[in-house]
Amino acid sequence: MVLSEITITKAIIDRFSRKFMECIDVDTAVVGAGPAGLVASYFLAKAGRKVAVFERKLSVGGGMWGGGMMFNEIVVQEEGKEILDLFGIGAREYEPGYYTADAIEAASTICSHAMKAGARIFNCMSVEDVMIREGRVIGLVITWSPVQMAGLHVDPLTVTAKNIVDATGHDTEVLAVIARKADIHLFTDTGKILGERSMWAEKAERLTLENTKRICPGVYVAGMSANAAFGGPRMGPIFGGMLLSGKRVAELIAAGR
């Protein structure tokens, strides 16, 4: 068989276009393919929801690959270990209640499970704005990340979603654009983003779960974004809260809460 470059080109454009077309109106759009976003997309897809994940970077996994300060091991406490076990990620007890896992195994395995469950992930796509109708966020405005990076003057495209998950980590990027551009009152004490506080692992891990919730009509927060939105502290390279937050947000969406 003689390989044709044109067939290769057509195959990629054709397959990608179909995949993308299937995701321009979804049940849930997850912004950010870090640990919280990936776990959320796994559970949502598993529950039969049509879910698309938009990730700014070329790679998925967010802050997980680098473990702590690029020592590529993560720590997970007892509560979060159930998620590692579910995905078959090797966890070793370090001291009672503290487990470690290889950061590369964790990130790649969670991503693989999310995709095999049916989630679709679009890397190199950045969410730069939202669409709002009658006080509810109904969709995302997306562009290619390299367009943003190069500062090119190119108009974006849009996707609609019944539910949006801001899993963008420390910068709460979806909420930030809502706060900047819309009159929507967030379900926080002030109605605005409260902002992340300094490192306190114990408190932060607990609060991550509490703060995982609907933050305005159409939008949920998960992972570090949830803590930053509700004024919780950061926690550093312990990941149980991130994993459980992804599961929690999927449960809330499935229950319509």
Give the footprint of ligand 48F on this chain (CB under 6 A).
Answer: 31-37, 54-57, 62-64, 126-127, 167-169, 173, 223-225, 234-235, 237, 239, 242
> Could you give the C-alpha distances from 104 to 33, 68, 101, 132, 147, in angstroms and in order?
14, 12, 9, 38, 29
Judge residue 206's burial from the number of C-beta atoms within 10 Å of its C-beta, 0-12 exposed, 13-18 middle, 19 or more buried.
middle
- Three-state DSSP class for residue 165: strand
Pairing relationship of beta strands 25-31 and 157-166 according to DSSP bridges: parallel
CA distance 10 to 62: 31
Q: Which is nearer to ligand 48F, 218 or 237 (CB)?
A: 237
Distance CA 67, CA 204 (A): 17
Alpha helices per DSSP H over the chain: 5-21, 35-46, 78-87, 103-117, 145-150, 173-181, 201-211, 224-229, 240-255
Please say which residue, 134 or 241, places its beta carbon nearer to ligand 48F.
241
Of 77 and 188, nearer to ligand 48F (C-beta) is 77
Question: Under DSSP, is residue 120 helix (H, G, I), strand (E, B) or coil?
Answer: strand
**Nearest distance in Å: CB 154, ligand 48F:** 16
- Residue whose C-alpha is closest to residue 125's, from 147, 100, 105, 150: 147
Q: At its nearest, how many Å lie between ligand 48F and the CB of residue 96?
A: 21
**Looking at beta carbons only, is 46 or 234 nearer to ligand 48F?**
234
If the CB atoms of residues 126 and 184 are measured against ligand 48F, the closer one turns out to be 126
In the complex, the smallest distance separating the C-beta of residue 183 from ligand 48F, rounded to whole angstroms, is 21
User: Minimum distance from CB of 143 to ligand 48F (Å)?
Assistant: 9
Nearer to ligand 48F, 144 or 187 (CB): 144
Shortest reach from residue 237's CB to ligand 48F, in Å: 6
CB of 64 to ligand 48F, least distance (A): 6
Q: How many CA atoms lie within 13 A of 64 on its CB side?
A: 31
